[in-house]
């Protein structure tokens, strides 16, 4: 938070930092959504998460292949995909990978990858069964329930990504 505050103050007095300080904030530079420092440090073979659909909803694991000099566009290769090809994507649609979480609590929010369409949905942990080693998850938008075996947690569940 201190970095964002300092960057905003520098911007207000006309000092420009590396890259843009805001993503699409236009005239409203007070609301900082992200900091380009991460993009300036990304390089070949770094693992990231990419929003290929450009809808800011579903992010997928990918590896950086190369970037332009300014690091505003990256060529990435999607991981865990049968038809993986190199895709050029803007920095706005890339973020750091979400760290794995192995322990979940009942009523905790999560993002769940629906095996039906491989899209990520906002969900909630509704039950835990230590005998079967499963977590029950409910997709909030559809009230659809799923069971996730503990050995598949990292594939189908991750913490809610806070992109504010």
The number of folded domains in the chain is 3
Residue 12 has pLDDT above 80, yes or no: no
163 in a structural domain? no
Quick one: the chain helix, strand, coil %, rounded to 5? 15, 35, 50
Q: What local confidence, expressed as pLDDT, does residue 56 receive?
A: 67
pLDDT per residue over 85-115, tens digit each? 888 988 888 887 777 787 899 999 998 988 8
Would residue 102 count as lying in a domain? Answer: no
Residue range 117-155, pLDDT digits in tens: 888 889 999 999 999 999 999 999 999 999 999 888 888
Q: Is residue 67 part of a domain?
A: yes
Residue 77: CATH number of its domain:
2.30.30.140
Could you tell me the pTM of the whole model?
0.52
Kindly give, in sequence order, each residue whose CB lies less than 8 Å from that of residue 37, ignoring residues fewer than 6 positions away: 3, 18, 19
Residue numbers of the domain that contains 133: 109-158
Q: 79 with 62: CB under 8 angstroms? A: yes
């Amino acid at each position: 938070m201190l970095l964002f505050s300092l960057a905003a103050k520098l911007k207000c007095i006309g000092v420009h930092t590396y890259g843009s300080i805001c993503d699409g904030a236009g005239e409203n530079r007070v609301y900082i959504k992200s900091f380009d420092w991460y993009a300036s440090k990304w390089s070949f073979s770094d693992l990231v998460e990419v929003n290929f659909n450009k809808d800011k909803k579903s992010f997928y694991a990918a590896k950086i292949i190369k970037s332009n000099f300014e690091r505003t566009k990256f060529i990435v290769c999607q991981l865990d995909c049968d038809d993986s090809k190199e895709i050029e994507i803007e920095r706005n649609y890339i973020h750091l990978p979400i760290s794995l979480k192995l322990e979940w609590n009942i009523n905790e929010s999560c993002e769940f990858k629906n095996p039906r369409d491989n899209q990520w949905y906002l969900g909630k942990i509704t039950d835990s069964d230590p005998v079967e080693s499963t977590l029950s998850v409910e997709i909030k938008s559809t009230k659809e329930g799923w069971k996730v075996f503990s050995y598949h947690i990292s594939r189908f569940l991750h913490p809610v990504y806070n992109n504010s």
